[in-house]
């Protein structure tokens, strides 16, 4: 009996601690401070996404600022919580941007009432749109994949991450690992902001036992920095000689992709600098020599050039002589300027000698890696086994990424894809197929589509595929053999109301005939591929219930459950 009383008392005490009212020191109509008085792991911060940002200076016991974070603290409603790890913090100095007077007195904001001390943070996701077999952050916002590499049987994926909200802010490198490119395990954030700036996109290379990360420090100006991991990519120590690359004349100077160039026996690095890509070389990864620039007048320039990648691909011609052709591919993500508005990945094919990339196409030729609207910031894994070139994209579009109808987290990556090259007419193109790991999660055949399935369609001439649900929501896909095009229409796919740029039809060239389509459905996304790799199309959808009916005119569908 005594024991039970004690237990109840403890539970009551713990609950009281968790909900103990937080008392701010109000200093003005947009300024308050908060002394952190309780010894728990987290202070849970309530967020209201439609509100202005509160800029929070995090101070230690000696009044030194250790961090600055931007959080949309709740004014009159709580959308969700984010965990602030206390780690010895003594004081939060909070200043709101924008005019607070409309919102009432700072002391009355609901954030104070709803802030909680806690040793736990519940990351259970109960949102219906959270994908089952695509990588997503445990909570919070994600954009570009960063620093991906493979080592000792593990695929490492870092990503642009906001740990303090589900919209873009506070750029940090989040981290997840996987043994099969499908099941991902969340890891602690790997690289956090510092006084050089927030941590924008970049890459990793392996050098002996070290993992070396290159990223953009986005402060007043964009500069490039380096960090080294001695524990296989779990934690990184920033290099004392940062920044390692700077410029005085270009505001958009970012997203370094470094790699070992086996042909030239040199380290290379490519980054986006305004409307072109700059290429550097190095012997020691620390000192970089500018070699050349590529891109002026080539391809599409209707937006900012970002997130480059540069790698060789080989094509083996069929019998009789099994000749191999090696070409270099330069990936160039661009936003806006995509074929259907907003963000997309274009690429160039040519040769690279460690110093200069020479494009083999005419300058006006533009090639897109994926013809959907939700495929951006594509980059490849460093050091993938079996000479594979595996890529992941961020499955969203800057036109509406911050508004898509999820809250606890925002954004997923595409399924992993393997790249190759193929020839059509006079031009060489990059082929895209789902990575072989996707076959391993193919489950049993099912009669109807489910919210997580792969639909394989053997197509004939004109083929129409309609996915729909009982609410009358539908996605219509059409393969036209005469025009050699594949289209996907999501104008009636479900919730399209959050952005005028969302409802649309996307259209891809198929470069000749298609025999089979592979269509991956995962709650809020549809990725369609030509099984031979000549076409890829990635689109988000937000149906109010899963599509459970399929109608195929002029073709035959086989549906597999995806087992996760």
| Interface residue list for ligand FRU (CB under 6 A) | 143-144, 160, 171, 200-201, 216, 254-255, 306-307, 377
Q: Residue 109 or residue 394: which is nearer to ligand FRU going by CB?
A: 394
Cβ of residue 218: shortest distance to ligand FRU, in angstroms?
A: 7
- Which of residues 261 and 402 has its CB atom nearest to ligand FRU in the complex? 402
Report in angstroms how near the CB of residue 216 gets to ligand FRU at its nearest: 5
Phi, psi of 52 (to 5 degrees): -75, 160
Task: Report the distance separating Cα 159 and Cα 147, nearest Å.
Answer: 8
Choosing from 114, 144, 374, 522, which is the catalytic residue? 144
| Six token digits for residue 287 | 């000192």
Residue (269 or 433) nearer to ligand FRU, CB: 269
Please count the CA atoms within 13 angstroms of the CA of 292 that sit on its side-chain side: 10
| β-strand partners of 556 | 458
- For the chain, the residue count is 564
3-state secondary structure (DSSP) of residue 245: strand
H/E run at residue 80: strand 80-85
* Annotation says 418 is catalytic: no
What gap in Å lies between CA 479 and CA 333, rounded to an integer? 27
* 76/108 Cα distance (integer angstroms): 9
DSSP state of 262: T
Computed from CA positions of residues 306, 312, 316, 321, in that sequence, does the dihedral angle turn out positive or negative? positive
Using the minimum distance from each CB to ligand FRU, give the nearer residue, 336 or 509.
Answer: 336
- Closest to ligand FRU by CB, 310 or 550: 310
Q: Considering only CA atoms, which of 454, 474, 451, 452 is closest in space to residue 464?
A: 474
Of the candidates 454, 342, 346, the residue with the CA atom closest to the CA atom of residue 398: 342
Instruction: Work out how close the CB of 343 gets to ligand FRU at its nearest, in angstroms, rounded to a whole number.
Output: 7
Q: Which is nearer to ligand FRU, 116 or 257 (CB)?
A: 257
Paired with 479 in beta bridges are 463, 486
| Phi, psi (degrees; rounded to nearest 5) at 521 | -110, 130
Question: Minimum distance from CB of 274 to ligand FRU (Å)?
Answer: 12
Compute the distance between CA of residue 68 and CA of residue 72 in angstroms, rounded to an integer.
13
Q: Supply the minimum distance, in Å, between the C-beta of residue 199 and ligand FRU.
A: 9
Catalytic residues: 144
């Amino acid at each position: 009996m005594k024991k039970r009383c004690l237990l109840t008392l403890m539970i009551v005490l713990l609950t009281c601690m968790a909900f103990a009212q937080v008392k701010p020191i109000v200093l003005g109509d947009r300024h308050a401070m908060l002394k952190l008085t309780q010894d728990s792991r987290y202070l849970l911060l309530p967020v209201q996404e439609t509100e202005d940002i509160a800029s929070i200076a995090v101070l230690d016991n000696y009044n030194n600022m250790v961090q600055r974070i931007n959080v949309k603290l709740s004014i009159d409603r709580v959308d969700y919580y984010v965990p602030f790890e206390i780690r010895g913090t003594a004081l939060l100095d909070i200043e709101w941007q924008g005019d607070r007077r409309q919102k009432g007195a700072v002391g009355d904001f609901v954030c104070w009432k709803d802030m909680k001390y806690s040793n736990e943070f519940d990351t259970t996701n109960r949102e219906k749109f959270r994908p089952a077999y695509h990588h997503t952050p445990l909570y919070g916002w994600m954009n570009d994949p960063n620093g991906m590499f493979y080592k000792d049987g593990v695929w490492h994926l870092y990503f642009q991450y906001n740990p303090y909200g589900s919209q873009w802010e506070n750029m940090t490198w989040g981290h997840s690992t996987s043994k099969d490119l499908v099941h991902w395990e969340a890891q602690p954030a790997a690289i956090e902001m510092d006084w050089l700036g927030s941590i924008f996109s970049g890459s990793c290379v392996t050098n002996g036992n070290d993992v070396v990360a290159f990223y953009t420090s986005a402060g007043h100006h964009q500069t490039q920095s380096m960090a080294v991991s001695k524990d296989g990519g779990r934690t990184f120590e920033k290099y004392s000689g940062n920044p390692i690359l700077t410029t005085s004349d270009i505001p958009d100077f970012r997203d370094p992709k470094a790699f070992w160039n086996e042909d030239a026996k040199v380290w290379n690095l490519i980054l986006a600098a305004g409307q072109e890509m700059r290429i550097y070389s190095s012997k020691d990864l620390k000192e970089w020599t500018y070699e050349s620039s590529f891109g002026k007048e080539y391809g599409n320039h209707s937006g900012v050039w970002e997130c480059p990648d540069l790698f060789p691909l080989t094509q083996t011609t069929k019998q009789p002589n099994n000749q191999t052709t090696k070409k270099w591919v330069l990936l160039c993500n661009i936003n806006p300027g995509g074929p259907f508005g907003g963000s997309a990945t274009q690429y160039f094919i040519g040769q690279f000698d460690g110093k200069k990339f020479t494009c083999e196409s005419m300058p006006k030729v533009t090639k897109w890696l994926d013809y959907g609207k939700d495929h951006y910031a594509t980059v490849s894994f460093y050091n993938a086994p079996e000479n594979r070139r595996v890529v992941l994209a961020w499955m969203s579009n800057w036109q509406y990424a911050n508004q898509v109808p999820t809250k606890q987290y925002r954004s997923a990556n595409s399924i992993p894809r393997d790249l190759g090259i193929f020839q059509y007419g006079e031009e060489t193109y990059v082929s895209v197929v789902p990575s072989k790991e996707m076959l391993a999660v193919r489950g049993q055949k099912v009669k109807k589509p489910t919210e997580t399935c792969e639909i394989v369609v053997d197509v004939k001439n004109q083929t129409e595929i309609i996915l729909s649900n009982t609410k009358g929501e539908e996605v219509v896909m059409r393969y036209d053999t005469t025009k050699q095009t594949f289209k996907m229409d999501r104008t009636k796919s479900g919730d399209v109301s959050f952005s005028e740029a969302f409802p649309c039809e996307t259209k891809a060239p198929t470069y000749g005939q298609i025999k089979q389509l592979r269509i991956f459905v995962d709650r809020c996304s549809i990725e369609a591929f030509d099984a031979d790799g000549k076409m890829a199309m990635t689109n988000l959808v937000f149906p109010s219930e899963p599509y459970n009916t399929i109608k195929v005119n002029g073709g035959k569908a086989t549906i597999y459950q995806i087992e996760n």
